[in-house]
């Protein structure tokens, strides 16, 4: 009993740092939860919300779409989660009942096979000959067709009015076409996007401590904190329900959650939190999946 009480009193383990290596000898700090970021396939079936979590940060951690988590847990608003809440991250397997069907089929087959055996045969009666009945021919009077004496109705032709063609409703079109992307920092790219590398799902941009970090596109800040493993001081912006962007290793965060930001607005300052080199780690995710930021940012 004493051991159980002591374990509960320790609380949620804070994020501390360990090291891994990336291109250009960039060292990313790790925490007590593991030695690498979680893969999408490594996501547990259930997650317990801790202080500082948002639905976006949980989805980001496991490479999931926050909309799927909200739908699976019947969450009407992404902001309505609470500490201690158990969230289902993956769909529970459905038990199959197909194995019971062959037994039922065999029972029905046996029943219908045995039923004819128990029935007594019925003797067919001998056919009886029918005597033909003579009928007298009937005469059908010829029908007289009278010409139609009614006058034909006058056809009034009204001038044709062209139908009004409704213009397509563009209010519900995806806003991704309207997104304008801008570079989040002025430095050069020191590490490029590697789709197969679970440790680098974006690009690293060089910089000096205190250099500005800009919002790559207009949107709403949905996470601002340091609770995600390996990202240091992190900002996540939701742009249009389809695209999210992240800005990691900041020395200072200048925005708070629920802030609306414009493209090019300063949101943080470059630093080395969670890394051993001063830089900005930048990611773009579409429907929860990492994509190459260089395909969206303007060429320079």
Q: Is position 29 within any domain?
A: yes
Q: Is position 53 within any domain?
A: yes
The domain containing residue 68 runs over which residues?
19-88
Task: Name the band, by pLDDT with cuts 50, 70 and 90, for residue 244.
Answer: very high
Q: Is position 128 within any domain?
A: no
Q: Is position 160 within any domain?
A: no
Q: Is position 285 within any domain?
A: yes
Question: Of the candidates 88, 105, 136, which is a domain's last residue?
Answer: 88
199-220 core/surface letters (b: 16 or more CB in 10 A; e: else)? ebbbbbbbbeeebbbbbbbbbe
Residue 18 is predicted with a pLDDT of 37
Give the chain's domain count.
Answer: 2
What mean pLDDT is predicted for residues 64-88? 82
Q: Is position 156 within any domain?
A: no
- Does residue 43 carry a pLDDT above 60? yes
Q: Is position 37 within any domain?
A: yes
Residue 65 is predicted with a pLDDT of 82
- Does residue 225 carry a pLDDT above 80? yes
- Does residue 168 carry a pLDDT above 80? no
Residue 202 is predicted with a pLDDT of 95
Q: Which residues pair with 252 in a beta bridge?
A: 269
Q: Average per-residue pLDDT in the chain?
A: 72
Residues 97-125: tens digit of each pLDDT: 333 444 444 554 554 555 555 555 555 55
Task: Name the band, by pLDDT with cuts 50, 70 and 90, for residue 80.
Answer: confident
Question: Of the candidates 68, 88, 108, which is a domain's last residue?
Answer: 88
Residue 140 is predicted with a pLDDT of 54
290 and 187 assigned to the same domain: yes
Q: Is position 254 within any domain?
A: yes
CATH code of the domain in which 33 resides? 3.10.350.10
pTM: 0.56
Residue 194 is predicted with a pLDDT of 86
Q: Rounded distance, CA 220 to CA 54, Å? A: 13
Question: Of the candidates 30, 61, 88, which is a domain's last residue?
Answer: 88
Q: Rounded distance, CA 105 to CA 145, Å? A: 66
Higher-pLDDT residue of 276, 212: 212
291 and 186 assigned to the same domain: yes
Higher-pLDDT residue of 31, 275: 275
CATH code of the domain in which 213 resides? 2.70.70.10
Q: Rounded distance, CA 296 to CA 229, Å? A: 26
């Amino acid at each position: 009993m004493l051991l159980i009480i002591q374990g509960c009193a320790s609380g949620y383990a804070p994020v501390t740092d360990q090291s891994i290596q990336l291109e250009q000898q960039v060292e990313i700090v790790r925490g007590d939860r593991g030695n690498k970021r979680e893969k999408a396939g490594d996501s547990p079936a259930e997650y317990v919300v801790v202080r500082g979590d948002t639905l976006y940060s949980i989805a980001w951690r496991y490479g999931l779409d926050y909309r799927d988590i909200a739908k699976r847990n019947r969450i009407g608003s992404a902001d309505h989660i609470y500490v201690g809440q158990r969230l289902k991250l993956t769909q529970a397997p459905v038990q199959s009942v197909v194995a019971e069907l062959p037994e039922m089929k065999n029972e029905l087959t046996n029943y219908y096979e045995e039923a004819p055996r128990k029935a007594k045969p019925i003797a067919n009666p001998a056919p009886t000959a029918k005597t033909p009945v003579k009928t007298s021919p009937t005469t059908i009077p010829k029908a007289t067709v009278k010409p139609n004496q009614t006058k034909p109705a006058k056809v009034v032709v009204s001038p044709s009015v062209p139908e009004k063609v409704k213009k397509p409703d563009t209010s519900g079109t995806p806003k991704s076409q309207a997104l304008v992307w801008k570079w989040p920092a002025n430095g050069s790219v020191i590490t490029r996007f590697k789709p197969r590398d679970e440790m680098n799902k974006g690009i690293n941009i060089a910089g000096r401590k205190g250099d500005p970090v800009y919002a790559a596109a207009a949107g709403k800040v949905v996470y601002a904190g340091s609770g995600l493993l390996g990202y240091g001081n992190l900002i996540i912006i939701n742009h249009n329900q389809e695209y999210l962007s992240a800005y990691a290793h900041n020395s200072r965060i200048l925005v708070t959650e629920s802030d609306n930001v414009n493209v090019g607005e300063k949101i943080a300052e470059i630093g080395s939190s969670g890394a051993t080199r001063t830089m900005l780690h930048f990611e773009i995710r579409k429907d929860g999946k990492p994509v190459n930021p260089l395909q969206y940012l303007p060429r320079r």
